Amino acid sequence: MNSFPDSESEFCKGLFKKSKTSLYELANRLEIHSISKDFFTEIVLPLTSFFNSLENRSRPYFICFTGGQGSGKTTLSEFVQLVLKEGCKKRSIGFSIDDIYKTPEEREYLAKSVHPLCKVRGVPGTHDIELGLNTLDSLVQANDASLTPIPSFSKPLDRHLPKESWPVYQGKPDFIFFDAWCGGARPVSTENWKPPMNTLEKEEDPEGIWSKWSNDELAGDYQALFNRFDLLLMIKVPSMEHVYESRLLQEQTLAKTLQDPELKKKIMNKQEVFRFVMHYERLTRYILEEMPSFADIVCLLYTSDAADEKRGVDLGGRR
């Protein structure tokens, strides 16, 4: 639901008027051609208005957008940042947990020393959390002249782009946005550890060595990063099945934007996408069950009935 008072609606209308053209231009660049005005008026603008209403302070607000694969975390972050800039004159920067993956060589070492599945990027344990913390600290401690390189990872190439090509942010932002499919997640309880829950786990990790290792990693340095969040926003999708379909759509959209024929060959088909998402299923199901009870903001994009699309923001402040 949208919990803003009527007076706030007028402010949101003003924001939309100032940023409407840029919002649709961004949607086109992102290959989102069927976006509706309601998405902006019921999700993007109320969120932006809320962030803008936070007390001014010298330290940037660190805000995490979390949700299942393909739920639109990065896209929502980009829209909010655009309106903050054009409508509110606020400075912001965003980066993703996908931008701080460990290198293929580091994951290869984990595959040999821990479990073969560690080679596949994505689950807790396959990210360079120190890189994330260092980037955050650089932005928080910046002055007007400071330059902070923002990590940039190429999924088709499966490695970071050369550091000299990373975007550079100058100064100290008012907001730092971080999107992560497992952002803010707490470790799964091991007291009643569930047996293999999909084909991947049954075939490649029947004893739970890999899944328990990843859970232990989540309990470590990831919590040091997550504890820095000022606000945790969860995009709540209706089911794990929705995650599978959304991730497939994400891959299909990526295929449209790639020009390099060799990179296009690395686009996953439906079967490959579904098997890939199985790596995330155990923690994703836990997040869907547990996180709504402690996230600061829950953003509902869909009802359980796919034919009855519904949007809203719950600013319950329950954390």
Tracing tokens 């739920």 back to the chain, one arrives at 71
CA atoms within 13 A on the CB side of 175: 28
CA atoms within 13 A on the CB side of 11: 18
Structure tokens at 98: 């996908």
Go through the chain and tell me how many residues it has.
Answer: 319
Structure tokens at 202: 């049954």
Identify the pLDDT of residue 308: 36
Tracing tokens 């969120």 back to the chain, one arrives at 47
CA 298 to chain CA centroid, Å, is 14
Based on the number of CB atoms within 10 Å of its own CB, is 267 exposed (0-12), middle (13-18) or buried (19 or more)? middle
* Coil/strand/helix, residue 236: strand
Question: How far apart are the C-alpha atoms of 118 and 128, rounded to whole Å?
Answer: 14
* Coil/strand/helix, residue 71: coil
Q: Which residue from 105, 127, 126, 130 is spatially nearest to 117, judged by alpha carbons?
A: 126
DSSP 33: -
More confident residue, 69 or 210: 210
pLDDT digit string, tens, across residues 163-207: 999 999 999 999 999 999 999 999 999 888 999 999 999 999 999
The model's pTM = 0.87
Average pLDDT, the chain: 87
Q: Which residue from 153, 175, 211 is spatially nearest to 80, judged by alpha carbons?
A: 175
Asked if 178 and 94 count as a contact pair (C-beta separation under 8 A), the reply is yes
Asked if 171 and 143 count as a contact pair (C-beta separation under 8 A), the reply is yes
Q: What percent of the chain has pLDDT over 90?
A: 66
Select the highest-mean-pLDDT range: 117-126, 250-259, 272-281: 117-126
Given a cut of 50, whether residue 155 has pLDDT beyond it is yes
Question: How far apart are the C-alpha atoms of 294 and 292, rounded to whole Å?
Answer: 6
